[in-house]
């Protein structure tokens, strides 16, 4: 067991190349997951409620400059209808995700929606709509928001700057610090295999998750979208796709008590098996799509996104089948942080 989580220690895990050495790592990650998080898998239904976005992140299929996207924003009643059905499917959290469109009216409307979901359903509410000033996060917290997801995407500030014309790495970390200080459960994470990502950067990504003391950590492969500036780029691990699981297993060892979802992008890279394998290599959360069927084709962050031709009910049933095959059970209750809300960042300084 690693006691001193240095870059070299993480690199030692990532450099395992043989099938046998990697399987031993997966087994260890699975055992650490079982010991700390149990066999329950928490279901968080994700509603991609809008694909409108003012940002131009170089990798993202719904970036502002992609004019091939048909833009939409679901009506509140439609989102509430979806949320009301979740509990019956064992989904105890609704995740509200969208592109990034900061506006006084839109942010206030989202606050009212959060309050209605909290009043009308037993669900925990996670929000994932990008960077905002502290006072906006505070207002959403007042409305009842329980958790927030905002990936730092890469721990390399220079790479972050190249990929994000609209936002700095420092600003992203400021958002995470603000959320933590407001008592919101904080989720972050990164993409694996961004062009320019070395193995050292991947190790630093894993260590930054640990240093931030995150409640939830979402990671997944970078998948080049043809209608973006990175459409012709390759995933940095294209020649060794199993590196995506090696990184996940190392992440679990470094973060024994964080909630880690088996993210949808694993199924895009490994059709039909990716999320199942992720659940046996460190993950303990599943986020079935609850986005209304007809909108799914308009929220393509990357190509080959699974479940695009399905409905929320189909995805809700499918996940239960997957868990049965794996001998895992549906998590009961909200699946809040195991780390305690008073926990602060492990970083010595709040900001770089
Ligand atoms: N706007 C919010 C934000 O930026 O946090 C939430 C929506 S954003 C589209 C959700 C996540 O999609 C990002 O954090 C990013 O990691 C992921 N994503 C976007 N494009 C991707 C791609 N081409 N491959 C893999 N993941 C991608």
Task: For ligand 1, pick from 57, 301, 303, 306 the residue to mutate: most ligand atoms within 8 Å of CB.
Answer: 301
Query: How buried is 293 (Cβ within 10 angstroms: 0-12 exposed, 13-18 middle, 19+ buried)?
Result: middle
Quick one: average pLDDT of 265-290?
Answer: 98
How high is the pLDDT of residue 339? 83
- 159-179 pLDDT tens trace: 999 999 999 999 999 999 999
Query: Is residue 351 pLDDT above 90, yes or no?
Result: no
- 28-63 pLDDT tens trace: 999 999 999 999 999 999 999 999 999 999 999 999
Distance 21 CA to ligand 1 centre (A): 31
Distance 3 CA to ligand 1 centre (A): 32
- The string of DSSP letters for 8-36 reads HHHHHHHT--SHHHHHHHHHHHHHHHHHH
**Rounded to an integer, what distance in angstroms lies between the CA atom of residue 241 and that of residue 147?**
31
60 lines ligand 1 (CB under 6 A): yes
- Closest residue by CA, ligand 1 atom 3: 130
46 lines ligand 1 (CB under 6 A): no
Quick one: average pLDDT of 287-306?
Answer: 97
Query: Is residue 302 pLDDT above 60, yes or no?
Result: yes
Per-residue confidence band for 123, with pLDDT thresholds at 50, 70 and 90: very high
Place of tokens 């993202």: 60
Backbone angles phi, psi at 33, to 5 degrees: -60, -45
Token reading at 92: 């105890």
Query: Is residue 342 pLDDT above 60, yes or no?
Result: no
**Rounded to an integer, what distance in angstroms lies between the CA atom of residue 66 and that of residue 9?**
41
User: Which atom, in ligand 1's list, is nearest to the CA of 190?
Assistant: 16
How high is the pLDDT of residue 346? 45
- 226-263 pLDDT tens trace: 999 999 999 999 999 999 999 999 999 999 999 999 99
Is the dihedral angle over the CA atoms 330, 336, 340, 344 positive or is it negative?
Answer: positive
User: Which atom, in ligand 1's list, is nearest to the CA of 150?
Assistant: 5
**Rounded to an integer, what distance in angstroms lies between the CA atom of residue 140 and that of residue 124?**
13
Distance 306 CA to ligand 1 centre (A): 15
Query: Is residue 153 pLDDT above 80, yes or no?
Result: yes
Percent of the chain with pLDDT over 90: 95
Query: Is residue 96 pLDDT above 60, yes or no?
Result: yes
187 lines ligand 1 (CB under 6 A): no
- 185-231 pLDDT tens trace: 999 999 999 999 999 999 999 999 999 999 999 999 999 999 999 99
User: Which atom, in ligand 1's list, is nearest to the CA of 151?
Assistant: 14
**Rounded to an integer, what distance in angstroms lies between the CA atom of residue 182 and that of residue 145?**
11
Query: Is residue 341 pLDDT above 60, yes or no?
Result: no
Distance 20 CA to ligand 1 centre (A): 33
338 lines ligand 1 (CB under 6 A): no
225 lines ligand 1 (CB under 6 A): yes
218 lines ligand 1 (CB under 6 A): no
Distance 2 CA to ligand 1 centre (A): 31
Lowest-pLDDT range of 53-57, 125-129, 244-248, 335-339: 335-339
- Closest residue by CA, ligand 1 atom 14: 151
């Amino acid at each position: 067991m690693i006691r001193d989580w240095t870059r070299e220690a993480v690199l030692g895990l990532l450099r395992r190349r043989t099938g046998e050495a990697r399987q031993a790592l997966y087994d260890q990650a699975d055992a650490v997951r079982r010991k700390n998080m149990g066999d329950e898998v928490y279901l968080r239904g994700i509603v991609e409620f809008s694909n409108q976005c003012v940002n131009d992140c170089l990798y993202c299929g719904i970036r502002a400059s992609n004019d091939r996207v048909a833009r939409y924003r679901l009506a509140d009643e439609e989102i509430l209808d979806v949320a009301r059905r979740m509990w019956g499917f064992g989904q105890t959290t609704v995740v509200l995700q969208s592109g990034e469109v900061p506006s006084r009216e839109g942010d206030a409307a989202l606050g009212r929606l959060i309050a209605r979901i909290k009043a009308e359903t037993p669900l925990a509410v996670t929000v994932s709509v990008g960077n905002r000033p502290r006072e906006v996060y505070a207002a959403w917290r007042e409305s009842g928001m329980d958790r927030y997801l905002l990936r730092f995407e890469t721990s390399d500030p220079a790479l972050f700057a190249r990929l994000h014309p609209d936002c700095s790495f420092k600003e992203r970390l400021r958002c995470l610090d603000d959320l933590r200080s407001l008592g919101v459960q904080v989720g972050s994470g990164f993409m694996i295999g961004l062009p320019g990502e070395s193995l050292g950067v991947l190790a630093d990504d894993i260590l930054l998750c640990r240093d931030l003391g995150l409640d939830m950590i979402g990671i997944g492969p970078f998948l080049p979208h043809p209608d973006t500036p990175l459409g012709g780029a390759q995933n940095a691990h294209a020649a060794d796709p199993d590196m995506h699981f090696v990184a996940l297993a190392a992440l679990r060892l470094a973060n024994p008590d964080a909630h880690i979802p088996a993210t949808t992008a694993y199924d895009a890279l490994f059709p039909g098996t990716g999320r199942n394998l992720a659940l046996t290599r460190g993950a303990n959360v599943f986020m079935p799509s609850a986005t209304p069927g007809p909108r799914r084709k308009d929220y393509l962050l990357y190509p080959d996104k699974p479940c695009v031709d399905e409905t929320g009910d189909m995805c809700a049933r499918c996940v239960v089948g997957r868990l049965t095959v794996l001998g895992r059970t549906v998590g009961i209750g909200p699946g809040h942080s195991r780390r305690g809300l008073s926990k602060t960042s492990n970083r010595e300084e709040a900001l770089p």
